[in-house]
Amino acid sequence: MKIGLTGGIGCGKSTAARFFAEAGFRRIDTDEVIKNEVLHQPEVVAAIAQYFGPQTLTSAGQVDRAVVAKIVFSDAAALRWQEDLLHPRLFGILRTRLAEAPDADYVVEVPLLFEKQLENWFDFTVCVATTSHLQIARLEERGLPKALAEQRISKQLPLAQKLELADYVVLNDGSPDFLRDQINQLVAQLRERR
């Protein structure tokens, strides 16, 4: 079974994915794949430096994600260019990972699951939701100023739309145990349907 897990930034996708992993799912975090693999590919580093300028690289010659984020979240064309560079590489890695054990249960965190029309990659889609004030508060706890948090939220499909498109919704307004209980109930339900 392959579950595509999405939700707004700061809604708790990673926490939910951890609970799926506890329930026996193999976890793939697409943000981590981009951060730890795609952004280290020499051709990607070179393309980013050429397109955005040398200030987007650290002194060690790696992509400075904070500098690039500042550029792309304030420039729609730059964001589109970066997605066109990164996403095909991400999707290639994802296909390979999912093919390694085709009969295993996977949960794949994909922030832009619906924006990139990836629903058909998965047996089910799950959206993690929370209230907007909690979403902003969580992002501020991570060190993201409110204005930047709102800017990043605005670049994603509205959460209400993701909720409509998802096969299942879990709420992350309460304690971690509340979220874990919902995930465990959902997993039991999905496994019964096999």
Instruction: Return the domain boundaries, the chain.
Output: 1-25+105-194, 33-104
- Rama region for 143: left / alpha / beta (φ>0; ψ in -120 to 50; rest): left
Three-class DSSP labels, 63-127: ECHHHHHHHHCCCHHHHHHHHHHHHHHHHHHHHHHHHHCCCCCEEEECCCCCCCCCHHHCCEEEE
pTM for this predicted structure: 0.87
Half-sphere exposure of 35 toward its Cβ, with a 13 Å CA cutoff? 8
Phi, psi of 23 (to 5 degrees): -85, 10
> 1-25+105-194, superfamily in CATH?
P-loop containing nucleotide triphosphate hydrolases (3.40.50.300)
63-117 tens-digit pLDDT: 999 999 999 988 999 999 999 999 999 999 999 999 999 999 999 999 989 989 9
Phi, psi of 99 (to 5 degrees): -80, -15
Instruction: Check pLDDT > 80 for residue 7.
Output: yes
The CA-based angle 35-87-125, given to 5 degrees, is 95
For 116-138, what is the mean pLDDT?
A: 85
Residue 193: pLDDT band by 50, 70, 90 thresholds?
confident
Across the chain, what does the average pLDDT equal?
91
Instruction: Check pLDDT > 70 for residue 155.
Output: no
Question: What confidence score (pLDDT) does residue 151 get?
Answer: 74
35-56 tens-digit pLDDT: 999 999 999 999 999 999 999 9
Q: Residues 52, 127: contact at Cβ < 8 Å?
A: no
What is the C-alpha separation between 63 and 169, in angstroms, rounded? 35
SS3 content of the chain, % helix, strand, coil (to 5): 60, 15, 30
Q: What is the DSSP letter of 60?
A: T
Sequence-distant (6+) residues with CB within 8 A of 68 are 48, 52, 56, 82
- Rama region for 12: left / alpha / beta (φ>0; ψ in -120 to 50; rest): left
More confident residue, 174 or 58: 58
Q: Residues 126, 168: contact at Cβ < 8 Å?
A: yes
